[in-house]
Structures are given as C-alpha cells and as structure tokens.
Amino acid sequence: MEKIAKGESKMECNNTERKYLTVNPLKTCQPLGAVWACLGIHQCMPHSHGSQGCTSYLRMQLTRHFREFIPTTTSSFSEAQVVFGGVGNLKQAIRNILSIYKPKVIGISTTCSAETIGDDVPGTINEMRASGEIPEDVKVFTASTPSYVGSHVTGFSNMVKSAVETFAKKSSPNGKINIIPGLLSPGDLREIKRILKIMGIDAIILPDISDVLDAPMTGEIHLYQKGGTTISEIEDMGNSIATIVLGREAGIAPAESLNEMYNVPYEVLPLPIGISNVDKFIMKLSEITGKPIPYELEEERGRLVDMMLDAHAHWYNKKAAVFGDPDIVEAIVGYANDLGINVLYALTGTYSSEWEKTVKSMVPDAYVSSDNDLWYLKEQLDKKPVDMLFGNSHGKYLAKEYDLPLLRVGFPILDRANLQHFPIVGYKGTAWLVERTGNTLLDYKDAKSPEHLLELIM
C-alpha cells in the first residue's frame, strides 16, 4: 500500500550517548523465556503468577513467532492482590488449572507485580502439596522471573534450572548425555535429534519444543501435544555421562546445577550453526560417548563444504552486523567467520561480560556489546556502514532505511512464515543457511541492477 511505503523516511535526530533511555531493545522480559522453557516439557501448563497483561503479551509474541497455540494461564492480579498479596489468587489458579486443564506438570514463573510485593510462590506450593490439594502425580516447579532482572534468555535459563533442581535425581548411570539446547526452533531440535540418531547416541534434551510447537495439522485439538521432555527423563538427568550446553547464556545455569548436585560434568559449546561450530558439537559428542563419527555425517559435511565453495563469491568480504539473542549472535559470528564475511557489529540486549569476551575473541575488530539496542546500531551504521544484516524481524526497519539485505535468524521472526520448521543447526541446517545467505545477496543484487546489467549467469 502506497501510504505505508512512505513511512520509510529517515528520522532526523542527534546522536548522543545514552545512559537512561533504551530505544528499540534487543531483549524482552524473563516471563516469556520461562514460558518458552515450560512448553518444551511434556504436558506442562506454564503459569504466570502476576498481572494478566504479562501473559497476554508473551502469548501474543510467542504465537506470532511460532504460529502455534501457546497455552499459558495467569493469576490475573488486580489492585486487591498487589495490596493484600497474590497468594490467594495463586491457590485459586492452581485449583482451576488442575480441574480444567489437567496437566501433568505446572511450571510457575513470576512477573514484576508478584515479585515487587514478594509473594512466596514455593511456600504456597509446598502448603498446597502438604494439604493434598495438589495430587502427587502432578509435578510443579517454580522460578522467580521478574522483568526488571535479565531478559527472556535468563528467564528461560532460570526455568530450566528450576526444572533440573526440582526433578533431577541420582540412581544408576544411564549411559546417556544431557543436552540443554537454549532457544532453538522446533526444526533445529528435530535436526539435533536426527544427528544423535545417526551417531547412535541416547540423549535427554531439556527442553524440547519439537512435536509441541511444530505439531502437524490433523483436524484434532490438543491442549498438550505429544512432544516435550518428560518428568522421568528430567529425573534421569542426574545419571547421565555429561551435559552439553548449546549456547552458554541460555543453558549454563542448569548444567552447573546438575554438576553441583550430582557431579554430572558439562561442556559449553556454541549453538551448532556454521561448519566449525557443528564440527565442535559432533566431535564433542564423539569424545564424550566414545562413538565414532559416521561417514554419513562426513558426507553431509562434504556437501556443505562444496556448497560453500560453489557460492563463496557471493558473500566473501561482505561487511555484516549481527544482532539478537546472545547465543545465536555468537553462533552466527562463527558462521560468518567460516564464510569470510566480516562482522563489524555483534549486539545483544542480554548483559554478559563472558559473552562479550568470547565474541570479542572471535572478531577482534568488531564492536561487541551485550547490553545494547538497535538504535545504537542505527547510529553506528551512519558512521560505518555494512553490506548485510543478520538478526530478528525488528531489524527490518534498519534494512529498509539503509537498503540492506536482512537474513532473518533467531527470535522473534514475526514477518516471515514457516522458518521455525527449517533447521539452521548441523551440517544440513547450515547448508540451508548458506543457500539463504548466497541467494538473498543475489536477489538483492538483481533487484538493484539496471536492466542492461541484469545477468543470466551468476
């Protein structure tokens, strides 16, 4: 529509250093990440203890990203609860959830209002458990996740940590490995499971949103889909050989807990996106389990190298900015290094000095910042431009303003369909990302070419 297209006009402004104001954030709040984690647990109802707007908003955002149903209940605070406490509402909510939605697990996270007034959520659950109101076969775990601490990434991490601390046990060794996959898409999880199968490795993945947020269209309604990590699997995590953390920021906390509680060693790896990151993952799997790397994977790798060679001219030496959640940014920076793309900016909104150190070591000449926003990137692009953007949908306005191709990766992707079904992890997923990278740049080149310079052979 013509009227909308005019909206691309540049905004006049002065660039200044900001100390108090955030403009166009690269993070959202803890409760969203907490609910995301709960969705990857089998038959779990995520419950958000606090005001109902929080739940409405995060359900909206997750639904738009996944294009799937996001069940979540709320304690629906009103003035009375913030004055007199929200425990009464929590109890009422639990009773209703048990009776109406019949979950096997309830994952309770908190929002700002509940945390500010200081409701005792674990105490309330213990009380309801003791009185028999919560039956034994329904498991409950809780995490403190106000929006004024961390980001959706820490919310995810806190919720997974709580699941592990609440349920994991130690009995006899199971010969399995644990994988904490962070905020990956259902397609990515499916690919990780395929790799594990090829290698013959038995693993417990927590959380696992495949078969939950990519359920097939059947004409039937299911409040809970067939997927998700089961409680008995989580219980078994204390018996595993080791834990592999894919993405430090979202996953190291639960791995540390398992280590402290049950001496399960852990390895922190980047998300397996990009050939070197996938190599690290495959070799670590082999090292931990003693299983050889099958030739089938070597072939996949070989095909990927072939594709990268065939298309290298399309991206080599391009300058890029990468933004989004910390773990995906780190992985994409590695991917860019593999391709010979120069990353000038790597930005996230979730603060972590460890992350900054790691990413800085990968791209020493880039601007790397973990407590930042997209307005900062805009200001920098005026001074030092790039050729392309890697990031979430929020980058589309920058892409428009600076006339840049945007390769959509990470969360949220609100303006393109079906991407969450296609993996970007593993050799096969990376191959698909390579295809998108090269051909996006070629589409862009074609769109910019005058007619007489439009070429058939590229």
Partner 1 sequence: MIERNHTQDYMMESPVEKNKKLIEDITDSYPKKVSKERKTHLVVIDPSEEQHIMADVATIPGIMTNRGCSYAGAKGVVFGPVKDILHLTHGPIGCGYYTWDTRRNLAEPEEGYNYFIKNCFSTNMQEKDVVFGGEKKLYGAIKEAYEIFKPKVIGIYATCPVGLIGDDIKAVAKRAEEELGIKVITVSCEGYKGVSQSAGHHLASNTLIMDIVGTKELENPTPYDINIFGEYNIGGDVWLVKDLLQKIGYRVVSVFTGDSKYDDLAKAHRAKLSILMCHRSINYTNRMMEEKFGVPWLKVNYIGITSTIESLREMAKFFDDPMIYENTEKVIEEELMKIKPRLDYYKERLKGKRAILFVGGSRAHHYQDLLKDIGMETIVAGYEFAHRDDYEGRKIIPEIKEAPHHKILDTYHFERVTEPAYPKEKIEEMKSKMPDHFMNYEGMMVHMEEGSIVIDDFNHHETEELIKALKPDIFLSGIKDRYVFQKMGVPSRQIHSYDYSGPYSSFEGAVNFARDMDMAINNPIWKEVTPPWKK
User: What residues numbered 381-410 form the site for partner 1, per CB under 8 A?
Assistant: 394, 397
Closest approach, Cβ 113 to partner 1, in A, equals 4
Q: Does 63 bind partner 1 (CB under 8 A)?
A: yes
Please report which residue ranges of 312-352 form alpha helices under DSSP H. 326-339
Quick one: which segment of 8-16, 134-142, 201-209, 321-329 binds partner 1 (CB under 8 A)? 8-16
Closest approach, Cβ 278 to partner 1, in A, equals 32
Residues 151 to 190 in contact with partner 1, rule: CB under 8 A: 151
- Asked whether the beta carbons of 53 and 115 are under 8 A apart, the reply is no
Q: Does 428 bind partner 1 (CB under 8 A)?
A: no
Quick one: which segment of 143-151, 294-302, 357-365, 418-426 binds partner 1 (CB under 8 A)? 143-151
Question: First CA to last CA across the chain, in angstroms?
Answer: 33
Residue closer to partner 1 by CB (options 123, 340) is: 123
> How many residues make contact with partner 1 (CB under 8 A)?
89
Compute CA 406 distance to the chain's CA centroid, rounded to the nearest angstrom.
19
Closest approach, Cβ 159 to partner 1, in A, equals 15
Measured distance CA(341)–CA(318) in Å, rounded: 5
Compute CA 246 distance to the chain's CA centroid, rounded to the nearest angstrom.
10
Burial bucket for residue 212 (CB in 10 Å: 0-12, 13-18, 19+): buried
Measured distance CA(64)–CA(58) in Å, rounded: 10
Measured distance CA(199)–CA(90) in Å, rounded: 45
- Asked whether the beta carbons of 39 and 207 are under 8 A apart, the reply is yes
Closest approach, Cβ 440 to partner 1, in A, equals 22
The residue with tokens 């495959």 is 282
Q: In degrees rounded to 5, what are phi and psi of residue 432?
A: -70, -35
Residues 31 to 60 in contact with partner 1, rule: CB under 8 A: 31-32, 47, 50-54, 56-60
Quick one: which segment of 144-152, 165-173, 229-237, 328-336 binds partner 1 (CB under 8 A)? 144-152
Site string for partner 1, 192-231 (x = CB under 8 A): -----------------------x-xxxxxxx--------
299 CB-near residues (< 8 Å, 6+ apart):
none
Residues 79 to 138 in contact with partner 1, rule: CB under 8 A: 79-82, 89-90, 92-97, 99-101, 111-113, 116-117
Quick one: which segment of 22-30, 190-198, 332-340, 442-450 binds partner 1 (CB under 8 A)? 22-30
Site string for partner 1, 346-375 (x = CB under 8 A): ---x-------------------------x
Residues 234 to 293 in contact with partner 1, rule: CB under 8 A: none
Please report, as a single letter, which amino acid is at residue 281.
F
In order, the DSSP letters of 222-245 are -SS-S-SB-HHHHHHGGGSSEEEE
Give me the sign of the Cα torsion angle 246, 251, 252, 256: negative
Quick one: which segment of 24-32, 185-193, 299-307, 315-323 binds partner 1 (CB under 8 A)? 24-32
Q: Does 75 bind partner 1 (CB under 8 A)?
A: yes
Residue closer to partner 1 by CB (options 59, 318) is: 59
